[in-house]
Amino acid sequence: MNSVRVLVAVAAVLLVVSAANAKEIGINTVYDSVRQGETDWFYEYISSSSFDVYLIWNNPSNSLTLTLYSPDGSVYGPFRDSSDGVVDGKIALTVENAERGVWYFRVYGERVSGVQHYSLTVL
């Protein structure tokens, strides 16, 4: 039982340290890139009860994942390109009954050949 508590504590510390390096999305869209195994963090203050998130990249043979973290610490995802049943280099989500506050968005290069450029939009 103690080892489980230690693992949970370590995971919480890693999340806090990684999220501390997050970049604000700002105007609604950010353009960035990842390599195999890289993680990018972004954040956005959400004031509405619902919002849309779009992660788009141009090479569907590469695999990116998107994970959302709500202000209360709930984790949504990871979502993959195939989450909607179509492999097309896009992840489109609608979050309803959203908690107001700062949300974090994690983009991970799960399987990437070279460098994969992408856009992340939060509306």
Handedness of CA 48, 90, 72, 31 (dihedral sign): negative
Buried (b) or exposed (e) across 38-51, using 16+ Cβ within 10 A? eebbbbbebeeeeb
Strand partners, 108: 39, 65
In a domain, 11, yes or no: no
| Tens digits of residue pLDDT in 58-114 | 999 999 999 999 999 999 999 999 988 899 999 999 999 999 999 999 999 999 999
pTM: 0.80
* 115 is a domain residue: yes
CATH number of the domain encompassing residue 90? 2.60.120.380
**Is 1 part of a structural domain of the chain?**
no
**13 located within any domain:** no
* 2 in a structural domain: no
> How many domains does the structure of the chain reveal?
1
Give the range of the structural domain holding residue 103, as residue numbers without chain letter: 23-122
